Chain A
Amino acid sequence: MATTTELLQGTLDLLILKAVSLRPEHGYGILLRIQQISRDALQIQQGSLYPALYRLEHQGVIESDWGESENKRRAKFYRLTTAGRRRLRDETAYWKRFSEAIGLVLAAAPEDV
């Protein structure tokens, strides 16, 4: 396993929403997708994936349907709902503001103060 980054609290939901917004994915596909996009920097603990999925589904931001995976297996595919798209947009905007702010703080040099 390469060096992985611990996930910040609350970011898992955002990552899942983003992953299923690209295209409907089943649970394992979501893990792979996040790993792939983050170039293996982010690895989701499998143990935290399903509780998060069920929570999001209960909140109505994702919905699921049974379908067939690429290797011809029955799998449950998750996709974004309208509410989910709105949520993803809001959280993305929030995250950007947040990381910019953190970046600013961390980039501060003694002479700036």
Chain B
Amino acid sequence: MSPLPRIRSFLSALFRRRQLERDMEAEWRAHLEAHVEVLVNAGMSRVDAMRRARMDFGDPLRWKEQAFEVRGVEWVNDLGADVRHGVRQMRRAPVFTAAVLVTLAAGIGLNTAVFSVIDAVLVRSLSYPDPERVLWITTIERDQEVVNAVDFLAWKEQATSFDGLVAFDLANHAIYTADNVVQSRVAWVSEDFWTVSDARPMLGRLPLGREDAVLLSYPFFVSAFRADPEVAGRAVRINGRQVTIAGVLPPDFRPQLTKPFASSGLPEKAIDVYRTFTVPPPTKAPNGATVTWLVSVIGKLKAGVSVERARADLEAIRRRTKAANPMPLPSTLRMMPLKERIVGDATRPLIVLLAAAGFVFLIACANVAHLFLVRASARRSEVAIRASIGAGRWRLARQFFIESGLIAAAGAVAGLVVARWSLATRPAFGGCDALRTAGPGRRPGRWSRLSLHLPEPARHRAA
């Protein structure tokens, strides 16, 4: 039999109870009147007939109950009564309720906050298309994780395993607009960046080839340019140079670039401006030293190319470059998925934190259970009375279940509030970056965009 009529009648019994009751009463009135008429026609006096009809009819109150029982809505009404009773109980014991709520809020809030951080850092992937193909590439060992521009240029020219190789760098610059000066975080990015990050400006266009132009991030566009749509095509001055604003990137454009090193003096900050970066070839200093740029590099593998093959590809090119242009610094090539580089050493502290939060939650649960036990023994007389006036075991159990369910729900809501609040104050709480710099195993490297720290010219003299 199709369940549809049952569901319909269940719902109408639930939501149109008054209407159904009125219908029943009208139906019974009509029934009684018809019955009286039949009796009167058979020769009974009207008064007798009415009394007789009522007697025959029985007790319609019972039928009403049965009508709703049949439709299966009685338990819903009982549930409502239990919930009301539960709320009354909570109000009657404010200290108990508050203690439970605070404990639950702390436990749930802490867990939610920690898990939110873990979700953001570990679970969610990079905001690049095909994130698994985006690699972090470095060559210079000892304290620095960068790539010599000589290598980068050679790779860019000869490597066959990459869809794109991006050299980038982060810096703070003052930007002079027509009427204002704004400090901004600038990401210098070489031209492949636009394809690797799949940038699509919401206003204006991408820089053409190696054109010296900037793209604004959406928040910076709003804060520094008051979201003026005319901004694309205008010129601003950065570092004393006139640069065209090519366009504005959409709000959801947030490609991760690796964080600046602690020793670079740059704090973690959102990027305001992307500027095209043309990696210059090495030059000779007047004293004969080779002056070369050190850049950060990310590369996007061609589809189907393994990391191993890409490594062999880059290694081979490096050998040739070295032969033609020996570099004095010993270096090894390292490649790892960009995601690993960004979250890498935050993983362990985060997992430890999660475990700790889990234990705190366990303790909170134990506390709450204990409080409920104490309360249950205080309420024994109430239970005894209710049982003696006919409440069944199931009914009593359900009552307690609903009471604890109500408190748990309230605790969960309070926990969410706590979680939100602690996430809003995350800098103090410590996101992944604080963990990273505090974490073991990474020595902060000496790092600057332009590598001029070559103390012994002889070491760097090109052969």
Whether B254 is near chain A, meaning CB under 8 Å from some CB there, is: no
Within residues 40 to 93 of chain B, which ones have a CB less than 8 A from any CB in chain A? Answer: 56-60, 63, 66-67, 70-71
Instruction: Give per-residue flags for A18-55: 1 if the beta carbon is below 8 A from chain B beta carbons, else 0.
Output: 00000000111100100000000000011100110011
B1 touches A76 (CB 8 A): no
Interface residues on A, range: 20 to 34
Does the CB pair B6–A51 fall under 8 Å?
Answer: no
Cβ–Cβ < 8 Å partners of B6 in chain A: 58-60
- Once A46-B56, A46-B58 are accepted as A-B contacts, the answer to whether A58 and B23 lie under 8 Å apart by CB is no
Question: How far is it, in angstroms, between the C-alpha of A54 and the C-alpha of B37 when the chains are bound?
Answer: 25
Which A36-92 residues have C-beta < 8 A from chain B? 45-47, 50-51, 54-55, 57-60, 63, 69, 71, 73-76, 81, 83
Q: What CA separation (Å) do A64 and B33 show in the bound complex? A: 20
How many B residues touch A, CB cutoff 8 Å?
Answer: 29
The stretch among B24-32, B98-106, B374-382 that forms the contact with chain A is B24-32
Q: How far is the CA of A60 from the CA of B5 in the complex (A)?
A: 5
Q: Is residue B35 within 8 Å, beta carbon to beta carbon, of the partner chain?
A: yes
Residue of B nearest to A82 (CB): B2
User: Is residue B34 contacting chain A, with contact meaning CB distance below 8 A?
Assistant: yes
Instruction: Mark interface residues in B1-21 (1 if CB within 8 Å of A CB, else 0).
Output: 110111001100000000000
With a cutoff of 8 Å between Cβ atoms, the chain B residues found around residue A75 in the complex are 27, 30-31, 34
Q: Could you tell me the distance between the alpha carbons of A63 and B31 in the complex, rounded to whole angstroms?
A: 18
Cβ–Cβ contact A51 & B9, under 8 A: no
Residues from chain B with a CB closer than 8 A to the CB of A26 are 27, 30-31, 34
A50 CA / B5 CA spacing, docked (Å)? 18
Closest residue on chain A to residue B67 by CB atoms: A54
**What are the residues of chain B within 8 A of A46 when measuring CB–CB?**
31, 56-58
Contact, CB under 8 Å: B35 / A28: yes
Rounded to whole Å, the gap between the CB of A3 and the closest CB of chain B is 18
**Which one of A47, A58, A73, A81 contacts B57 once the chains associate, using CB atoms below 8 Å?**
A47
Write out the residue numbers on chain B whose beta carbons fall within 8 Å of the beta carbon of A45: 58
Q: Which residue of B lies closest to A81 (CB)?
A: B5
Residues of chain A within 8 A of B35, CB atoms compared = 28
Q: Which residue of A lies closest to B10 (CB)?
A: A58
Q: Which of B23, B30, B59, B70 contacts A69 (CB 8 A)?
A: B30
30 contacts between A and B (CB under 8 A): A26-B27, A26-B30, A26-B31, A26-B34, A27-B31, A28-B34, A29-B34, A46-B31, A47-B59, A51-B66, A54-B63, A54-B67, A54-B70, A57-B9, A58-B6, A58-B9, A59-B1, A59-B5, A60-B2, A60-B4, A60-B5, A60-B9, A69-B34, A71-B34, A73-B33, A73-B34, A74-B30, A76-B23, A76-B26, A83-B5
**Residues of A in contact with B (beta carbons under 8 Å apart):** 26-29, 32, 45-47, 50-51, 54-55, 57-60, 63, 69, 71, 73-76, 81, 83
